[in-house]
Structure 1
Amino acid sequence: MTPAINAAKKARVRYRIHEYAHDPAAPSYGQEAADALGQPAGRVFKTLLVALNGDGRRLAVAVVPVSGQLDLKATAAALGAKKVAMADPADAERATGYVVGGISPLGQKKRLPTVLDASALDFPTIYMSAGRRGLEIEMAAADLIRLTGAATAPVGRVE
């Protein structure tokens, strides 16, 4: 069990776990998950960490579809910051307790401000990392919002 799965179990939300054989050579962990699960990339979400206002110690979480990219300006606005930049991967791992490619918005070491792309509300359930590469958790966006205290905003940009 990962901390993400334990958090969902403890909260008694409905969820499903999906495991697949992770290929370390995969160019995109998120797209690899979507392909392995047979799901559209817009329904599988990646968890990204950003540094607020240029401060690498003040981090926040953005959860966006793997089919696109994070809109930094929209994310800053949603988080009430002047600007955000992608967090250093080592800082992201230290803050969450997960490795890059397996960072889940659930069960992080410390609860960070979180924003979920509004497109998540278009699906009955969404998929996201369950805390390690090759392991996804599926749940309703409303449950993810409740468990993380996430705001929703259009922070994903379609490529």
Structure 2
Amino acid sequence: MVRTSPDPEVKKRKNSECGKHVKKKKLKEAVHELHAIREDNEQIKSEKNFMIQNLQLMQVGIEQQKAEFCVSQNKAITAQENIVETLWQELLTQHLMAGSNQLEVAAQCSVSSLNAGWDDRMPSKAKQSSDCIIELKHRQMVLKMKIDLLCKMIINDESKKQA
């Protein structure tokens, strides 16, 4: 039995139908994939927005903690400054009453004004928390210097009394 080749028109029509069918199938698959990708994108966007909200809430919490820290440190440093200032004034009064060398008293008074310009004890709300922390560190450093000087003065006074 000899086979005859199909009519070229029939072959062309079958190929065309098959090609259309393949195209439709691929189009349906592509549409399905696009829907799946769209759903994934929406899920990712939702998760991203949730994370952004959480990060913003955390940032607000951190800023609030920084502000509370600044207020707390400000109160502590102000209390220390008041105590040191009181002790400073008492020592200066004692030196003046004891007839201490005026040059020495003047030098000590100049150290007393080390923190001039930083006397606005309560940081303004407009300042950023980092500015507040820098100011508090400066005040703490000045306070430490004054305490060191007061200690030296007291030790010096004690050694003079013993001599």
TM-score higher than 0.5 here? no
Q: Select the structure that is richer in strand.
A: 1
Q: TM-score w.r.t. structure 2 length?
A: 0.20
Q: Select the structure that is richer in helix.
A: 2
- Decide which structure has the larger Cα Rg and report it: 2
